[in-house]
Amino acid sequence: MPNYRRNRVSGGTYFFTATLRDRRSTLLVDHIEQLRNTVRRVRAGAPFEIDAWVVLPDHMHCVWTLPPDDDDFPSRWRAIKKAFVKTLPSTELRSPVMEKRGERGIWQRRYWEHTIRDDSDFAAHVDYTHFNPVKHGFVEHPGDWPYSSFHRCVAEGRYPDDWRGGSTDAEFDAGERS
């Protein structure tokens, strides 16, 4: 097993990709209100700023900024994943090992994390997040996807309503399969 270490920076800004185990699933959008409520509850106990977020049927991307003197995004992700799964009926197939461990098998075990380095890195990852529904062919315009912070960003004046992509072609790994 590789010696994997996450880069934890107090008050840091991070890009994440969290993916369902079943990539054909539509579970995240089918249960969007449960997911939203779960994130609200976790943020109430362990605050973080949501800079960008998009939820697709089988995965989601987000950019968070943690409070100063706080670098604990792993416990937030653990809480979100665990609490969301508890809102769902137990209908998925599980291996005997998963059953023994009490695992539901909804999420991929890990998530992709990238520490944002500077303003251009931030802009590229926020744009990537908001353009993702277009990239995957769900919509033709980011504003047509309902499960995105793009709408909030337009209301705040961070994007024009007709934005069609900025640095969305940036060459970086976002934790997605090609």
Q: How many domains does the chain have?
A: 1
Cβ neighbours of residue 76 closer than 8 Å, sequence gap 6 or more: 42, 46, 48, 64
pTM of the model: 0.88
pLDDT at 147: 98
- 89/5 Cα distance (integer angstroms): 33
CB atoms within 10 A of CB 122: 17
Inter-residue contact 103 to 94 (CB < 8 Å): yes
CA–CA dist 1, 145 (Å, integer): 38
Which CATH number belongs to the domain containing residue 89 in this structure? 3.30.70.1290
Structural domain boundaries, residue 113: 13-118
What are the residue numbers of the active site?
147
pLDDT confidence tier of residue 54, bands split at 50, 70 and 90 = very high
**Residue pLDDT, tens place only, 131-146:** 999 999 999 999 999 9
In this prediction, residue 173 has a pLDDT band, given cuts at 50, 70 and 90, of: low
Residue type, 38: T
Does a structural domain hold residue 130?
no
The torsion defined by the Cα of 105, 113, 84 and 106, in degrees rounded to 10, comes to -10
In a domain, 147, yes or no: no
